[in-house]
């Protein structure tokens, strides 16, 4: 991937090419640009396919004249998102170059619906870069959420001690790595008296805070699923910040789909049978039209709201 950095800089400097493909101008501006994340990480767009119009086109192939009842592209995309008609969103895809700590990569790779090419530590020597949290993100174990940390950071003095330990170990394991590789930078032994251990073995003591890199290609439907999980407050801060950057890229790429996603997924919630019964009783008590006029919902969404509550 390091080699590809130079290629991408050349692409960034190259004049734009005319194309017949539908483009998203705001994402074109982002192509190949590095968006920094954490202390050494980044996300950048390598390529993309489709726009909001591609979603609409695909839906119209399915539904034909039936889509005319929707008020334009925005209304159709919102209808598709609301009713989980997901396949039109799969017509859009994006390829990202991501640099991320290995412990973040382990969470990320659980999303199986993407294509991945990762830098090979069997083939390449990993760079001396490891993640050190900022002191404000160092906190004690949460007592009510076993998978998380407390909101309040530890004191500055405690943070300095923690960071010194994390840094000491990261430097120590990297020094061992370099010792085992015994490489003078040009492939020859730094110390001819010692072996040059295979890269696939020399790496095994490196820590989870080391950075790795990959190309990650995914369609929009699965990307939104990834974002709904990794933008959630329960997701670990260190992966959430990547999701936030990707969310900004998606909002530039497909603004109508992003708006619908924010309204119906990120800002929405699903209810159990019992919770729905409770809501129905509350709304019935207030009167079925209470608040609906000022809700901003269109006539169709108001009907859907009543139908959902069984009113
Ligand atoms: C806050 C948080 C905490 C987590 N904690 C843990 C943990 O402690 N331990 C742990 O192991 N994981 C944990 N995970 C990972 C989690 O269980 C999922 O593996 C991960 O979020 C990927 O979700 P996914 O399978 O829906 O996504 P994807 O793999 O992208 O799949 C998308 C969808 O495709 C379908 N799909 C994909 N592959 C299959 C398949 N083989 N069979 C059937 N359907 C499939 C499913 O509908 C799935 O929802 C955590 C995730 C989050 C967000």
pTM, full prediction: 0.92
Centre a 10 Å sphere on the Cβ of residue 306 and count the other Cβ atoms it contains: 15
- What does the pLDDT look like over 49-95, one tens digit per residue? 999 999 999 999 877 655 565 568 999 999 999 999 999 999 999 99
Q: 234 C-alpha vs ligand 1 centroid, how far in Å?
A: 14
Give the per-residue pLDDT at 147: 82
Nearest CA to ligand 1 atom 49: 225
Q: 113 C-alpha vs ligand 1 centroid, how far in Å?
A: 10
Residue 227 pLDDT level (bands cut at 50, 70, 90): very high
Query: Ligand 1 pocket by C-beta < 6 Å: which residues?
Result: 110-113, 147, 222, 225, 229, 234-235
Nearest CA to ligand 1 atom 19: 110
Helix axes 273-286, 299-309, angle to 10 degrees: 120
Instruction: Cite the active site residues.
Output: 230
Residue 102 pLDDT level (bands cut at 50, 70, 90): very high
Q: What is the mean pLDDT of residues 13-36?
A: 92
Contact in structure between 85 and 66 (CB atoms under 8 Å): no
Q: What is the mean pLDDT of residues 203-229?
A: 97
Q: 267 C-alpha vs ligand 1 centroid, how far in Å?
A: 21
**Residue 126 in tokens:** 């990993």
Tell me how many degrees the CA angle 262-267-268 measures, rounded to the nearest 5. 115
| SS3 of the chain: helix, strand, coil, percent, to 5 | 50, 15, 35
Q: Give the atom of ligand 1 at the shortest distance from the alpha carbon of 234.
A: 1
Q: What's the rounded Cα separation, in Å, for the pair 244 and 36?
A: 12
Q: What's the rounded Cα separation, in Å, for the pair 117 and 126?
A: 15
Q: Comparing C-alpha atoms, which of 256, 252, 246 is closest to residue 224?
A: 246
Counting ligand 1 atoms within 8 A of each CB, the residue from 84, 108, 113 with the most, and so the one to mutate, is 113
pLDDT at 8 over 60: yes
Give the per-residue pLDDT at 250: 98
Q: What is the mean pLDDT of residues 300-306?
A: 87
Counting ligand 1 atoms within 8 A of each CB, the residue from 84, 229, 231, 232 with the most, and so the one to mutate, is 229
Q: 177 C-alpha vs ligand 1 centroid, how far in Å?
A: 33
Burial group, residue 282, by CB count within 10 angstroms (0-12, 13-18, 19+)? exposed
Cα–Cα distance list, 54 to 47, 98, 179 (Å): 16, 25, 53
Counting ligand 1 atoms within 8 A of each CB, the residue from 110, 148, 237, 243 with the most, and so the one to mutate, is 110
Q: 306 C-alpha vs ligand 1 centroid, how far in Å?
A: 32
HSE-CB of 220 using CA atoms within 13 angstroms? 29
Residues 6+ apart with CB under 8 A from 169: 207
Q: How far apart are the first and last CA of the chain?
A: 57
Q: Give the atom of ligand 1 at the shortest distance from the alpha carbon of 114.
A: 30
In three-state secondary structure terms, 205 is: helix
Give the per-residue pLDDT at 67: 58
pLDDT at 138 over 60: yes
Q: 94 C-alpha vs ligand 1 centroid, how far in Å?
A: 20
Q: Give the atom of ligand 1 at the shortest distance from the alpha carbon of 236.
A: 1
- The per-residue b/e assignment along 132-144, b for 16 or more CB within 10 angstroms, e otherwise, is bbebeebbeeeee
Contact in structure between 261 and 224 (CB atoms under 8 Å): yes
> Picking from 37-46, 143-152, 158-167, which range would have the lowest pLDDT averaged per residue?
143-152
Nearest CA to ligand 1 atom 30: 111
In three-state secondary structure terms, 231 is: coil
Nearest CA to ligand 1 atom 35: 113
Contact in structure between 177 and 202 (CB atoms under 8 Å): yes
């Amino acid at each position: 991937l390091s080699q590809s950095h130079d290629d991408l800089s050349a692409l960034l400097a190259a004049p734009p090419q005319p194309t017949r493909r539908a483009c998203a101008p705001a994402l074109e501006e982002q192509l190949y640009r590095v968006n920094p994340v954490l202390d050494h990480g980044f996300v950048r767009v390598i390529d993309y396919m489709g726009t909001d119009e591609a979603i609409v086109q695909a839906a119209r192939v399915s539904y034909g004249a039936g889509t005319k009842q929707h008020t334009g592209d925005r209304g159709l995309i919102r209808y598709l998102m609301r009713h989980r008609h997901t396949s039109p969103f799969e017509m859009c895809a994006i390829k990202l170059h991501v640099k991320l700590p290995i412990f973040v990569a382990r969470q990320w790779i659980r999303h199986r619906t993407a294509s991945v090419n990762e830098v090979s530590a069997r083939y390449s020597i990993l760079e001396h870069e490891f993640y050190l949290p900022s002191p404000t993100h160092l906190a004690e174990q949460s007592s009510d959420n076993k998978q998380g940390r407390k909101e309040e950071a530890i004191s500055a003095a405690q943070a300095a001690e923690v960071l010194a330990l994390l840094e000491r170990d990261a430097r120590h394991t990297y020094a061992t790595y370099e010792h085992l590789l015994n490489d003078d930078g040009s492939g020859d032994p730094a110390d001819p008296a010692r072996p040059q251990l295979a890269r696939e073995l020399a790496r095994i003591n490196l820590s989870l805070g080391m950075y790795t890199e990959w190309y990650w290609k995914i369609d929009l439907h699965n990307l939104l699923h990834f974002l709904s999980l990794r933008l959630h407050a329960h997701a670990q801060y260190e992966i959430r910040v990547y999701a936030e950057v990707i969310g900004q890229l998606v909002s530039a790429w497909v603004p109508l789909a992003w708006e619908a996603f924010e309204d119906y997924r990120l800002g929405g919630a699903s209810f159990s049978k019992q919770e729905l019964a409770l809501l129905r009783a509350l709304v019935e008590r207030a009167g079925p039209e209470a608040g609906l006029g000022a809700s901003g919902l269109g006539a169709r969404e108001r009907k859907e709201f009543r139908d959902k509550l069984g009113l």
